[in-house]
Amino acid sequence: MTALFSKALTSLPEQPSSAKSLGRVLLVASSTNTLQLKNYRVVPTGYSLEDLTVPVQQFIEAGYEVVIATPDGKKPVILAHANDSRFDNDPEALQHAIAFLDTYPSMQNPKTLKAVLSEGLDRYIGVYVPGGYAPMNDLMQDPDLGQILRYFHKTSKPSAFLCHGSVATLAALPNATAYRKALGDGDREAAKAAAADWQYAGYRMTSFSNEEEYPIEREILDGQVPFYVADALASAGGRVEHSSSDQSFVVQDRELISGQNLASDRAIAQEFVEALDEARVIPIWVRKHFLGKA
């Protein structure tokens, strides 16, 4: 083990014990590792290393325990082209993130979403979904995640989504699978019908923008993604907003907190922690009726 890696291990944030924890955050990730493009080309995918590790370490440092879950209980897969450029070319930060993945207990043994449901959602104070293309495969149409998000919406608990992870909000649709199929088929009429009764319709939100997607399609993927996340959210009734490409941009509307891209990882973590802190001390009915944060 290198000295750098040893240093990274010793500087990891300590997982709080149940006695010290301010509350549990549910992190939902996909464990799929490929994405089929419009040209039927299949490319490797997963979650973005920085999307997951940077915010999660901030949650832990703020005193929250993080429980990781995937649809099938398998470990999520790191996006194939993740490298030190995603940590401002800081190799120590990269090694710190990798060491975190290798040592954080919940990362070694994720729960299934069904297990999360059976154990009870009242155990969790908030939910976070990182980015990468993988959520476009399963999370956006997972019925268990849909049930989870409906609970967090009904109870006004902070719900944060970063980059492509915002597509997972669509799991709350009553007909999420039909909506995903219509998007892939380019069937606007079917998509419109399947998008009815989305709990986040009318919410302000953000996601990875089309303008940020185009150069990746040309230079990395060699093909078009099945659909654009921003368009999928807007078609379902979201009020989608964006800033300039590669600039930090976070939008909060009631319980929903979303970040545009990788550059937003620290900002969304800060907004989420502030929302968690507020949720611990202000009753739901007060937030809903007096602060407009239901």
- pLDDT per position as a tens digit, 26-84: 999 999 999 999 999 999 998 888 889 999 999 999 999 999 999 999 999 887 655 54
Q: Looking at the domain assignment, is residue 152 inside a domain?
A: yes
Residue 7 lies in a domain: no
Answer yes or no: is 2 within a domain: no
With respect to residue 10, please indicate whether it lies within any of the assigned structural domains.
no
The confidence score (pLDDT) of residue 285 equals 55
Domain presence at residue 1: no
Tokens for 3, please give them: 């000295």
The residues, any chain, with a CB within 8 Å of residue 82's CB and separated by 6 or more, are 48, 49, 50
Q: Tell me, what's the pLDDT at 88?
A: 72
Asked whether residue 137 is domain-assigned, the answer is yes
Q: Say if 8 falls within a structural domain.
A: no
- Domain range enclosing 284: 17-289
Residues paired with residue 252 on neighbouring β-strands, in sequence order: 257
Instruction: Give the CATH number, domain containing residue 194.
Output: 3.40.50.880
Query: Can you read off the two tokens belonging to residue 115?
Result: 């297990």
pLDDT > 70: what percent of the chain? 87
Instruction: Kindly state whether residue 197 falls inside one of the protein's structural domains.
Output: yes
How many domains does the chain divide into? 1
Report the pLDDT value the prediction gives residue 80, as an integer from 0 to 100. 61
Could you give the C-alpha distances from 229 to 78, 191, 219, in angstroms and in order?
20, 14, 19
pLDDT for res 8: 36
The conformational region for residue 223 under phi > 0 = left, psi -120 to 50 = alpha, else beta, is: left
DSSP letters, 81-99, are T--GGGGTT-HHHHHHHHH
